[in-house]
Structure 1
Amino acid sequence: MARITDTDMVLNFPILIGDIGGTNARFAILIDSYAEPKEFPVVQTADFATIDQAIQTMILDRTSIQPRSAVLAVAGPVDGDEIHLTNCPWVVRPKAMQAELGLQDIVVLNDFEAQALAVVALGDEHMIRIGAGTPEPAASRVVLGPGTGLGVAGLVHARRTWIPVPGEGGHMDMGPRSPRDFEVFPHIERIEGRISGEQLLCGRGLVNIYHAIGKADGTPAPFTTPAEITSAALDGSDKTAVEAVSMFCTCLGRIAGDLALVFMSKGGVYLTGGIAQKIVSLLVKSDFRAAFEDKAPHSALMRDMPVYVITHPMAALLGLAAYSRTPGRFGVETSGRRWRS
């Protein structure tokens, strides 16, 4: 097996595409460059010991189509021949996958590179705007999404090519700012003494905020899952849940604004993932946009940057499909991330 570094080399159809997160994995097969992706049921990562077993059982055993290539987006840094997911015990081993699953060509990307690619592939009908601002067509963009973790990626345009910029921006430090923050943050669970964005802005982060508010106020906080907290916030049945989601939205606005400044995202900031989609009505009414714009001395600049919630449930797959059809349209670096038999 040899690694291929030629980013312009096309992929051979059929192509298996996969968006593999910490909790869920979504797969589809592209028959050719004109066909719509053939989607398969969402896979719960906890149901299978390995990704190879999941693909064999849930995809290959359910179709007569034998993919020749695969483009996989994984929730974790892509480095070497064994790729460990950040919030899942699965390990992607492309060489073993070629032998076991009959794949000739495998490209492995970061999951939020796929989300960044989706920003170009999706139409306005799959987005809800929060606040004002008009996107500049070829300007930089940022994608971030609270899910099992907090994913972040940039998207820049150069030489008529869209270039996704992966990273681990979800692990940036986040500290208290308002008087209420200073009451609640001492009760936030830390990792090695620090509070990162991901300690607040993901599923377990929402639970973290909820329990911290309960401890700060000395009141019951009985819920243990993000779904319970968001449901109680949406129907207003639990005051602590309402405040937890409100604080979540404000913190999300703060970190989204920070990232927008880093990338000068005049092309827009895009929120993705199940949590953002579920609480979009609360996001619109919350202090998210005020926190996003509160970046003195650049508040006027921030007011002109649009923010969207991506509503398509399979957005990353559409991004992977767009790349798989026309890889030359995107400046995706495949050196050390592509394997061909």
Structure 2
Amino acid sequence: MAKTFNTSDPLSFPILIGDIGGTNARFSLLVDAYAEPREFPIVHTADFPTVDAAIQAGVMDKTSLQPRSAILAVAGPIRGDEIPLTNCDWVIKPKDMISALGLEDVVIINDFEAQALAIANMPDEFREPIAPRPDTMVASRVVLGPGTGLGVAGLVHAEERWIPVPGEGGHIDVGPRTDRDYQIFPHIKTIEGRVAAEQILCGRGMVNLYNAICAADGIEARPFEPKDVSHAGLDGSDPQAVETLSLFSTYLGRIAGDMAMVFMARGGVYLAGGISQKILPALKKPEFRAAFEDKAPHNALMQSIPTYVVTHPLAALAGLATYARTPLRFGLALDGRRWRD
């Protein structure tokens, strides 16, 4: 098992930084605390049998400056010395990684902890407001990211530090509220009989929702991929796809509002990931904010909380780099998540 460390024991430079999702893995190399990270081409997880092979081919073979440490954000819970990913066949084995890649130190955190680290100090140029609200409070925040799955994390501000709070919020239950919801929900694919948020609010979830809408309307669904649904919904060429984006925005607004209340996220709610960026025009329509604020008896509170879409192309890597440079700014628990040679 991993040893016990604390955030005052920094990683040794150069530091390999990685964001490993279900579909893609992104890597950069941070030479020192003042350098800009050196980025490497995106790696498709399906192209490599293991993360070690991907790092060797995608990073090690492309630089003469070899990393001494690594901090990786992965899509899945971190327990023990073997870490299976939620939406990918890779199993992260930090001890093997140290041996195979010649590293001294490996830290593994949840992918949405990295997104939470990123929103601690996200520049205005990389956050697009949805229904602009005053942003004056240094207070707790929430980040949600519909992508291969639905990631959720909190960012609590306490004792002048930012503390990321990972979880599996993408697997909470969602249910119907309106008459139209009740027509559609019986057709949504379930997981052992329940509709989890991730069954709707991710790439495959968008297709599930589109197919359910078509079934409710008594028509045959077109063989759409997620990008087809979003394109047809945005350009108006398919009525069911248009409604899919409208309801996707509504359901995302409901979940975002729920998370905002759980964390009392007066510092804002951030939507991360590629899907949020691609459907930004739909999210800027009234449905998202209306659902977000519809939390009686706390509508006034919800109206005061700002919401953003993160537009930074490598937000998770930026968050990890910020932590690697200034670990004392963050209360990142490393017990059971750090391995050393």
Could you state the TM-score of these two structures normalised by the residue count of structure 1? Answer: 0.98
User: Runs (4+) of structure 1 moved beyond 3 Å?
Assistant: none
Deviations 1:103-133 (A, max 9, x none): 1000000000000000023201101111142
Q: Does the aligned pair in 1 maintain the 2:2–2:80 contact within 8 Å?
A: no
Aligned CA distance change for structure 1 residues 2 and 275 (closer, same or farther; 3 Å): closer
- Counterpart of 2:17? 17
Letter in 2 for 1:58: G
- Counterpart of 1:185? 185
Secondary structure in structure 2 of the residue aligned to 1:18: strand
Q: In 1, Cα distance between the equivalents of 2:2 and 2:238?
A: 56
Secondary structure in structure 1 of the residue aligned to 2:284: helix
- Counterpart of 1:71? 71
Q: In 2, Cα distance between the equivalents of 1:121 and 1:60?
A: 30
Q: In 2, Cα distance between the equivalents of 1:131 and 1:30?
A: 36
Shift, 1:159, TM fit? 1.1
- Counterpart of 1:52? 52
- Counterpart of 2:220? 220
- Counterpart of 1:280? 280
Structure 2: where are the runs of 5+ without partners? none
* Matches for 1:1-341 after TM superposition, within 5 Å: 3-341=3-341
Letter in 2 for 1:103: L
Secondary structure in structure 2 of the residue aligned to 1:192: coil
How many percent of aligned residue pairs carry the same amino acid?
A: 64
What is the number of equivalent residue pairs in this alignment? 341
Shift, 1:136, TM fit? 4.1
Could you state the TM-score of these two structures normalised by the residue count of structure 2? Answer: 0.98
Q: In 1, Cα distance between the equivalents of 2:137 and 2:182?
A: 40
Q: Does the aligned pair in 1 maintain the 2:2–2:336 contact within 8 Å?
A: no
Letter in 1 for 2:225: T
Q: Does the aligned pair in 1 maintain the 2:268–2:307 contact within 8 Å?
A: yes
Q: In 1, Cα distance between the equivalents of 2:201 and 2:224?
A: 16
Q: Does the aligned pair in 1 maintain the 2:139–2:157 contact within 8 Å?
A: yes
Q: In 2, Cα distance between the equivalents of 1:271 and 1:6?
A: 30
Q: In 2, Cα distance between the equivalents of 1:47 and 1:41?
A: 13
Q: In 1, Cα distance between the equivalents of 2:205 and 2:290?
A: 21
Q: Does the aligned pair in 2 maintain the 1:223–1:229 contact within 8 Å?
A: no
Secondary structure in structure 2 of the residue aligned to 1:287: helix
Over the residues paired in the alignment, what is the CA RMSD in angstroms?
A: 1.0
Aligned CA distance change for structure 1 residues 215 and 2 (closer, same or farther; 3 Å): closer
Q: In 1, Cα distance between the equivalents of 2:180 and 2:250?
A: 12
Shift, 1:313, TM fit? 1.1
Deviations 1:18-54 (A, max 9, x none): 0000011110000110000100111111111111110
Structure 1: where are the runs of 5+ without partners? none
Shift, 1:224, TM fit? 2.9
